[in-house]
Structure 1
Amino acid sequence: MTAHFEPTPQPDNKAVITLRATLARKISAHCPTEGPRSTAVPGMILTRRSTPTACCSATYEPHLVVFVQGQKRIDLGKTTFLCDESSLLLTSVDLPVVSQIVAATPQKPLLGMLLKFDMPTVREILSLEEFHTNEPAGTRGMAMGVTTPELLAPCLRLMDLLDAPQDIAFLSPMLHREVIYRLLRSPQGKHLRSIATLGEQSQRTARAVEWLRANYAKPLRVEELAEMARMGVSTLHHQFRSLTAMSPLQYQKHLRLHVARERMLHDGMDAASAAFDVGYESASQFNREYSRFFGQPPMRDIKSRRLAIAPEAEVAATGD
């Protein structure tokens, strides 16, 4: 059964409502067209979607997303995160997901701010005395929470830098550090801390995740992966599942299927070529696993995806 993690109901807090509305206006002004948009602030990406979308495969890298409008569903293995205007989503390790915009209109588009993490900075902040704690570290590589005034305020100041580009080089590192500090102080901070802390089992498991992410097309030998992470095979399985919501073999399979789907969709590969390209030795096995995962055979799924993307591209081109 799929687990659902719903946002905690937002209290009637005027400060949060005001800050969120202001951030939504600024994101809308600086991201007037459809899709993600890189900015002059290092590591900050803005996104806008004016219509619901079909399910899309992606690999989430370590980052924070602050949602201020609309609703997005993210499926990680059998776990579903439903993010709305009060949500933040923290990803602390590379994870293959399926995402979908479920609530967005031209009048009220989905709006969000993504901030990529600089892990050396996270570790530097964690070395400060105020972060020395005996509190158990988190084990999940993805966590959702509710935005607070303390977190929204530095996000707004980062947005303000887009109107003062001469200040970006000096001020953006300070504000990025403040965002990390506020996040580490939040209930979700334990998940980021576990990945950033050298020597933690989660950090060593993250090393195994990084290897699989870079070598998904290679044969998987769990014993070698466990040796790389400096833990036993059973411990690796337990830690890996806690962090990614799947086993190493499932992670590799999901990653291969996501990459194959994107190569068929964007590079025009046929199913057999995509299967062999991502490491499958049998096209029939690829077709079976693809159908089970995405709900229909590869080329039928790609045709459906292209039909779903066409209206989105038309909206982006016309600006409607």
Structure 2
Amino acid sequence: MDTDSLAPLRDAIARLWQAHGRETPVEGLYLTAVSAPTGPIHAVYRPSLCVVVQGAKISMLGDRAFCYDAGKCLIASMEVPIRAEITEATPERPYLAFSLALEPATITDLLCEMGAAADIPPGPALAVHRLGAELQEPLLRLLQLCERPRDVAILVPLIRREITWRLLQGPMGPALRQIGLAGSPAARIGRAIAQIRDSFAEQLQIARLAEVAAMSPATFHRHFKAVTAMTPVQYQKQLRLQEARRLLLSDAADVARVGYAIGYESPSQFSREYRRMFGAPPGRDRVAIRKGLAPQTGA
């Protein structure tokens, strides 16, 4: 893609960042502007479209790397913990991107109109594609609406629906179908993921998760790894440790108490696994983040 065609999107993001920062007047639309490469960023991606218009980023889902730079999109089709890094950014050419939450109800509605079948095999929860010209125009209009707040309530739903329709009609359609088809294997894995998220501090019960997904334990395990690039145990561990980091930063609780709160019975195991994920033991990591020496959790 000719990066000059991205200039209107870049200009819109730069203006909005100056006016609003990360959060925009459009619900679910978030901006990112970073002037230097980052270290590891740990976050949970929810169903969303991320568009990079300058710079580059890499997101790791389990051991799978998804690289995307200017003119590329990343689709997250369900809630997954990731590790990411912004790899290209300078003060002169900062990393500029925006993400838009995807609405399952809208996707389902449009799929019903399309008559799409529900037998799509599950694929990875992340996918990267090039931003097509047919998507640039409605995305730009959505960004421009942030500067016309009186129009937001009326026009945003229409433009979001148009964007979703364009996505479903293009190469990102299969990833979106995983969000909108309630009976698909990926959607059933999504229900099991929600179960893990809602009770991540409890002992994992594979048989119960397989029941939620309406699969045999063996089929569930295979489909879960196809979607998340992790086993259920690995997925739960990442959620637990990201929640531990949030708790450490949000209050003055001691490390052992945070470990117990997220389901660890052994403080030494909690400290060991926390260090393996974040590069420092919990207490030292909390101090480093508060001093601005370590990357914070965030998208």
Same fold (TM > 0.5): yes
Shift of 1:59: 0.9
Say whether 1:265 aligns with 2:243. no
* Alpha-carbon separation, structure 2, partners of 1:253 and 1:225: 16
Q: Using the TM superposition, give the Cα deviation of residue 65 of structure 1 relative to its aligned residue in structure 2, in angstroms.
A: 0.7
Counting only pairs closer than 5 Å after superposition, residues 143-158 of structure 1 correspond to structure 2 as: 143-158=127-142
**Aligned CA-pair RMSD:** 2.3
- Whole-angstrom distance in 1 between the partners of 2:63 and 2:292: 24
CA distance in 1, matches of 2:253, 2:87: 29
Instruction: Determine the structure 2 residue equivalent to 1:217.
Output: 201
Q: Which amino acid aligns with 2:207?
A: E
Alignment-derived partner of residue 98 in structure 1:
83
- Secondary structure of the 2:178 match is helix
Q: Give the Cα–Cα distance (whole angstroms) in 2 for the partners of residues 68 and 128 of structure 1.
A: 32
Q: CA deviation at 1:311?
A: 10
Output aligned runs, 1:99-114, within 5 Å: 99-114=84-99
Deviation, 1:268, is 4.0
- Give the structure 1 partner of residue 284 of structure 2: 300
Normalising by structure 1, we get a TM-score of 0.85
Match of 2:7 in 1: 21
One of 125, 136, 161 as aligned partner of 2:110: 125
Between the two proteins, what is the percent identity of the paired residues? 38
Gaps of 5+ in 1: 1-9, 313-320
In structure 2, the residue matched to 1:180 is 164
Following superposition, the deviation at residue 297 of structure 1 comes to 2.6
Task: Give the structure 1 partner of residue 221 of structure 2.
Answer: 237
Q: State whether structure 2 residue 86 is matched by structure 1 residue 86.
A: no
- Deviation, 1:47, is 1.7
1:100 Cα deviation after fit: 2.1
Q: Relative to structure 2, which stretch is displaced further, 216-225 or 293-302?
A: 293-302
Q: Distance in 2 between matches of 1:203 and 1:134?
A: 10
Task: Give the corresponding residue for 1:162.
Answer: 146
User: What is the identity, as a one-letter code, of the residue corresponding to 2:239?
Assistant: L
Which runs of 5 or more structure 2 residues have no equivalent in the other structure?
A: none
Q: Is residue 57–residue 261 contact of structure 1 (8 Å, CA) maintained in 2?
A: no
Report Cα offsets for 1:181-202 as digits up to 9, x if no partner.
Answer: 1111222221220231011111
Moved more, 302-311 or 251-260: 302-311
CA distance in 1, matches of 2:119, 2:29: 30
Q: Distance in 2 between matches of 1:77 and 1:122?
A: 26
Alpha-carbon distance between aligned partners in 1 of 2:243 and 2:269, rounded to the nearest angstrom: 16
Q: Deviations over 1:55-106 (max 9, x none)?
A: 2221111111111012222122111222211221111111111222222222
Q: For each residue in 1:126-184, what CA deviation from the matched residue of structure 2 results, as whole angstroms up to 9, or x when unmatched? A: 1113x536984552111111111111111001112122222212211111011111111
Alpha-carbon contact 1:88-1:145 (below 8 Å) kept = yes
Quote the Cα distance in structure 1 between the aligned partners of 2:171 and 2:128: 10
Instruction: Name the stretch that deviates more: 56-65 or 137-146.
Output: 137-146
Of 288, 300, 305 in structure 1, the residue corresponding to residue 272 of structure 2 is: 288
2:232 to 248, 261, 264: 248
What's the TM-score, normalizing by structure 2? 0.91
Structure 2 Cα separation of the partners of residues 269 and 154 of structure 1: 46
Structure 2: distance between partners of 1:283 and 1:76: 27
Q: Give 3-state SS (helix, strand or coil) of 1:21's partner.
A: helix
> How many equivalent residue pairs?
296
Q: Is the 8 A contact 2:142 2:159 kept in 1?
A: yes
